[in-house]
């Protein structure tokens, strides 16, 4: 069975070909600011090199409808995509209906299928990046809820009831404190005044990310920011653990290239705060995080029946 896997990310388009459960090809392309699905179709065809596919999986950075075929709402470069039935687009382009899934859920499935959480049935995932993505699995089933929103919005738990308004509509979300976009806003507002090394990175690249904070934590301003991030991430994870009682917690995202720094500290804080009788799940990070979403969405796509039902 050959499956085309498509990961519509924040800045890049990742494509994979999975044959009988094994990722055999992978490419990553920068996404044009003026995103158009034709770019995706062309890139997928180029990767397949004329070969046909038995299934198509598409991961998207947003909430997907209950049928697994389209985005419920879309922003930024994907604005307007919610009006497109991606599953039918795939049928037109590649002769197969697609399975469309939220990218954090797809990453969780990838890690449960053949990754760091292989075989686990009760899992939560936290992905740290531009925003905070989450996903949950209970008893081997992805948590979706009635309208597809369950498990994936824990980056928007309230950590300050009198905090700032989040773009999502809620007030004081975790994301408004401990995400790349929040970090950049804090710098822009002058709330975070970078030390010399962080300022140098800001000058060199035009912007900074959470990883820059981790790597300049020898400076007081970065150390204070990182301390706040730990507090917020731990709050999110404690909430996830209390809600879903996992056997393992997967923490992923670009910042986890510093996992040796982050995981022990985050584990200590989460385990310290959990309900006294709660299981203390290990916090782990994927060994191949760049392919989690592709592997997961391909695994999901391979379970799609002929009528497009997962």
CB of 117 to Zn ion, least distance (A): 26
- Is 173 near Zn ion (CB under 5 A)? yes
- Is 156 near Zn ion (CB under 5 A)? yes
CB 62 within 8 A of CB 71: yes
- Is 185 near Zn ion (CB under 5 A)? no
Of the listed pieces 25-33, 106-114, 154-162, 198-206, which binds Zn ion according to CB under 5 A? 154-162
CA distance 155 to 132: 5
Among 168, 193, 224, 290, binds Zn ion (CB under 5 A): 168
CB of 176 to Zn ion, least distance (A): 7
User: How many Cβ atoms are within 10 Å of 208's Cβ, its own excluded?
Assistant: 23
- Least Cα distance to 226 among 241, 211, 205 occurs for 211
Of residues 123 and 173, the one with the C-beta less far from Zn ion: 173
CA distance 8 to 185: 25
Of the listed pieces 143-151, 168-176, 202-210, 288-296, which binds Zn ion according to CB under 5 A? 168-176
Distances (CA, A) of 245 to 52, 121, 122, 237, 251: 42, 11, 7, 11, 16
- Is 73 near Zn ion (CB under 5 A)? no
CB of 213 to Zn ion, least distance (A): 21
Dihedral sign from CA coordinates of 292, 293, 295, 299: positive
Of the listed pieces 161-169, 194-202, 212-220, 252-260, which binds Zn ion according to CB under 5 A? 161-169
Region for residue 102 given its phi and psi (left: phi exceeds 0; alpha: psi -120 to 50; beta: otherwise): beta
Of residues 4 and 166, the one with the C-beta less far from Zn ion: 166
Using CB under 5 A, list all residues that contact Zn ion.
156, 166, 168, 170, 173
């Amino acid at each position: 069975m050959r499956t085309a896997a498509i990961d519509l990310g924040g800045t890049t388009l990742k494509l994979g070909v999975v044959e009988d459960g094994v990722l055999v090809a992978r490419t990553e392309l920068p996404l044009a600011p003026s995103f158009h699905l034709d770019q995706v179709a062309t890139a997928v065809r180029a990767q397949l090199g004329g070969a046909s596919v038995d299934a198509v999986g598409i991961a998207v950075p947003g909430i997907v409808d209950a049928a697994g075929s389209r985005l419920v709402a879309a922003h930024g470069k994907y604005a307007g995509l919610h009006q497109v039935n991606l599953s039918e687009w795939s049928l037109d382009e590649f002769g197969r209906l697609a399975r469309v899934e939220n990218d954090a859920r797809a990453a969780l499935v990838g890690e449960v299928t053949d990754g760091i959480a292989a075989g686990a049935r009760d899992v939560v995932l936290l992905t740290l990046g531009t925003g905070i993505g989450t996903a949950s699995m209970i008893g081997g089933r992805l948590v979706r809820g009635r309208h597809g929103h369950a498990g994936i919005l824990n980056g928007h738990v309230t950590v300050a009831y009198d905090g700032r308004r989040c773009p999502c509509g809620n007030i004081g979300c975790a994301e408004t404190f401990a995400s790349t976009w929040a970090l950049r806003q804090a710098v822009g507002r002058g709330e975070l005044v970078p030390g010399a090394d962080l300022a140098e990175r800001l000058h060199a690249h035009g912007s900074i990310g959470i990883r820059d904070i981790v790597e300049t934590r020898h400076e007081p301003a970065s150390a204070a920011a990182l301390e706040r991030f730990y507090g917020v991430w731990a709050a999110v994870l404690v909430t996830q653990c209390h809600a879903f009682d996992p056997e393992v917690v997967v923490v992923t995202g670009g910042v986890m290239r510093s996992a040796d720094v982050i995981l022990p500290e985050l584990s200590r804080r989460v385990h310290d705060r959990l309900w006294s009788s709660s299981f203390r799940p290990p916090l782990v990070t994927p060994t191949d995080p760049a392919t989690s979403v592709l592997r997961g969405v391909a695994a999901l796509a391979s379970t799609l029946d002929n009528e497009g039902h997962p």
